[in-house]
Amino acid sequence: MVSAGKVSRQPISEIRLEAFRCFDSAVLAPGPQLNVIAGSNASGKTSLLEAIFVLGRGSSFRSSKPDAAIQFGAEQFTVFGSLRESEASRVGVAVSRTAGLSVRIDGRSANRAELVRSLPVQVLEPASHELIAGPPSVRRQFLDWSVFHVEHVFLEAWQQYRRALQQRNAALRQHSAAPAWAWDSTLSSTGLLVDECRRRLVARMAGAVRQAGNNLLEADIELRYLSGWAEGTELAAALLAARDRDQQLGSTSVGPHRADLVVTVRERRARDTVSRGQEKLVVAALTLGQIEVVAEAVGRPVVLLVDEPGADLDRHHLRKLLASVLAAPVQAFVTSLEPGLLEIPESGRLFHVEQGSVRPLLY
């Protein structure tokens, strides 16, 4: 496991944004460890986290439409970041109402995968409870972000698998069986590689998640990965056995696109047993365990965004959560209506957001 002291602590040294939601323009010079962003409701705290997320993902955790964050009356928003712990020293993201997403890394045009690799960023926010209560697609997306950073063969295999899946499904919708089955060999070979990458990642996460669960909940959290087809069956055989069903459905019913991650707490499935506050802590344990693995693989900290951690938590568990965040290999940005509830270390920084402006505070 990677401890916080084993990884240099400051991925982002400066953030600049323009025409992003309530911000005409803003500059933030964060500290290396904990950055608390305080302000009243609707002041822009979450929007600031969203901008940092966009800087590392090219997408928002608040909306599926990238242009939703463009300030009213503007044509585009821009977010720039100066980086210290990355092969890149400067990254920028712009989203235009007409041209969509564009990415620049050290002055050159880049794609979204390069952006994600340059700045690993993860978020804990109110909708994160979907990781426990939501559909399998949410857990696959959560898992695949870390697989992308840890298993370098994963992206190409997943892209090839997705293309073959789209072609097979298109043929099934047209009731063209022979063209559909022609894709089975590609689905099988690339799907097995995707499955192997995910399984290795889950095995690496297991110990870190278990430790985080004991720190936060005093309970064992266990993970079990389900491939998306019957255990003990080869994917090629599963595809063959499902052909009649797939023809009836008009889509492919087995494969890693149907995978899931089962999370258990005290040997019972989390989604069926935990309270809302416990759910938040389980998600935090999963995220912190994931971050340990990613930080170790990439050799630098992960940027962790935490939106209103005090919601649904009592002060005891809030302190535990913050202590776990501080011990993790992260540069953390935490929003709070009541920053006095947070124990901010001397190395931390406090910022106040109000009416589209950000300013540092002494505490």
Q: In the predicted model, is pLDDT for residue 268 greater than 70?
A: yes
| Nearest CA-CA partner of 328 in 286, 279, 278 | 286
| Banded model confidence at residue 3, pLDDT cuts 50, 70, 90 | very low
Local confidence band at 310 (pLDDT 50, 70, 90 cut-offs): confident
Q: What are the tens digits of pLDDT across the range 213-250?
A: 999 999 999 999 999 999 999 999 999 999 999 999 99
Res. 311: pLDDT tops 90? no
In this prediction, what percent of the chain has a pLDDT beyond 70? 97
The answer to whether residue 85 scores a pLDDT higher than 80 is no
Cα–Cα distance measured from residue 284 to residue 307, given in angstroms and rounded to the nearest whole number: 12
Is 301 a residue whose pLDDT tops 80?
A: yes
Check pLDDT > 80 for residue 7: no
The pTM (predicted TM-score) of the whole model is: 0.94
Whether residue 123 has pLDDT greater than 80: yes
Residue 345: its pLDDT value, please? 85
Task: Give me the mean pLDDT over the 324-330 stretch.
Answer: 95
Characterize the bridge pairing of strands 121-124 and 302-306: parallel
For residues 331-354, give the mean pLDDT: 88
pLDDT at 339: 80
Q: Which pLDDT belongs to residue 9?
A: 65
Mean pLDDT of the chain: 93
pLDDT of residue 10: 82
β-partners of residue 349 are: 35
Q: Which residues have C-beta within 8 Å of that of residue 304, sequence separation ≥ 6?
A: 121, 122, 123, 124, 287, 291, 325, 328, 330, 331, 332, 333
> Does the structure show a pLDDT above 50 at 108?
yes
Question: Which two tokens mark 226?
Answer: 């389900």
Third-level CATH fold of 129-299: Glutathione S-transferase Yfyf (Class Pi); Chain A, domain 2 (1.20.1050)
